[in-house]
Amino acid sequence: MDKFLTFTHINEQGQAQMVDVSEKKSTERTAIAYGEIHMNKAVASGIKNQTIKKGEVLQVARIAGIMAAKKTFELIPLCHVLTLTKCTIDFNWKTDQILIVQCLTKAVGPTGVEMEALTGANIALLTIYDMCKAMDREMKITNVGLLEKSGGKSGHFISASQEVDE
């Protein structure tokens, strides 16, 4: 069988399985995931001025994203339980109405932290939507993806497809 057609989460009988990482070397691993939320002017102003009725949106979204990253193994069935050594959620305005969310995750272990970073970014974005939906049900979450990862056998990866304005 072609090695590119082999799925690591499927055993010889075609059944789902968690990958055995017990023989893999523990290394420091990091990942950065990214996403955007597009909103109307009223929501953007409310977030910037901390006047959204449900509370301080970015602080709640930050905590939600960090909590979600730590619980990724509970949300995605075949993910390993990881001890994150660092998780940050950062926000930057790309334009007056587009907010960038970045989640950085870090751990030392035998498997990567990409799924944790992606989960953290997504939940932070969804929390912003939830807290502001009464003011703008047409908010759009876009451009979610992995920006960068390091550590492990596959080495350093930087996405060529994501454009981030900092």
Q: Is 80 annotated as a binding residue?
A: yes
Catalytic residue numbers, as ranges: 130
Q: Is 163 annotated as a binding residue?
A: no
Amino acid at position 12, single letter: E
Q: Is 9 annotated as a binding residue?
A: no
Q: Is 118 annotated as a binding residue?
A: no
Q: Is 39 annotated as a binding residue?
A: no
Known binding-site residues equal 78-80, 115-116
Known binding-site residues for substrate equal 78-80, 115-116
